Amino acid sequence: SSAASGELGLELAASWAARREEAIRSTGGAPGKFEGCSALAAETRIAYGTLLDLCVARADIKGVEAWYARLMAAGGVPEPRTVLKAVRAFAKDGDIPGAERWLRRAQKLGLELGASGHNAVLAALAKQGSGCSDAAKQAEQWLCRMPKEGVDPDVTSFNIVLNAFARCGMLGDVEGLVEEMSARGVEPDA
């Protein structure tokens, strides 16, 4: 089964990474300190990145955090697609602070996620909250934050909030947001 092969892949990659760490330590500690260690360190970063990617794919939130920490400690940087998947995994799980943390990490590392990462948070916000209008307003606040963070909302961003407003019967807010879309030059998709 794919779950069994995923477990095997995770075990093999973890074992490989542990062997690489031990080899680096046995040559004097810091990767790259001695000749030949820089290639070994690069392989270790690749292994950690692979493990991070596997944990994201499995929605293993604890594993995602653990392998991210090890990747960064080894001097690596996660791939933008992996960070985007992590944002989506946390948002899908309803962990908005976790999704925000990953967005901040992407910004700090200079990784370009575009509107996609913010849209995952928008969608999660639109579905939670103490009530329908509360959730819609939280999503709208997030939408307003995006430009301040250097991210232009796209048609999907607006549609998520428009759908939340419509679902809650907030027609005045729908009209105002459609005007905002137009002012920003975002064309409706339907």
pLDDT mean across residues, the chain: 81
Question: Taking the complete model, does pTM exceed 0.75, yes or no?
Answer: no
Mean pLDDT of 111-118: 93
Q: What is the pLDDT of residue 33?
A: 44
Does pLDDT of 99 surpass 50? yes
Mean pLDDT of 146-165: 93
Does pLDDT of 167 surpass 80? yes
Q: What is the pLDDT of residue 29?
A: 55
Helix axes 80-92, 61-73, angle to 10 degrees: 150
Q: How far is CA 26 from CA 34, 72, 84, 126, 166, in A?
A: 11, 21, 35, 51, 62
Q: What is the CA radius of gyration of the chain?
A: 21
- The b/e string for 44-80 (b: 16+ C-beta within 10 A; e otherwise) is bbbbbbbbbbbbbeeebbebbbebbebbbebebebeb
Q: Which has the closest alpha carbon to 43: 18, 7, 6?
A: 18
Does pLDDT of 6 surpass 60? no
Using one digit for the tens of pLDDT, what is the confidence trace for 124-139? 998 886 678 888 999 9
Does pLDDT of 5 surpass 50? no
Using one digit for the tens of pLDDT, what is the confidence trace for 11-58? 656 665 666 566 556 655 554 443 444 555 566 677 777 888 888 888
Q: What is the pLDDT of residue 109?
A: 92
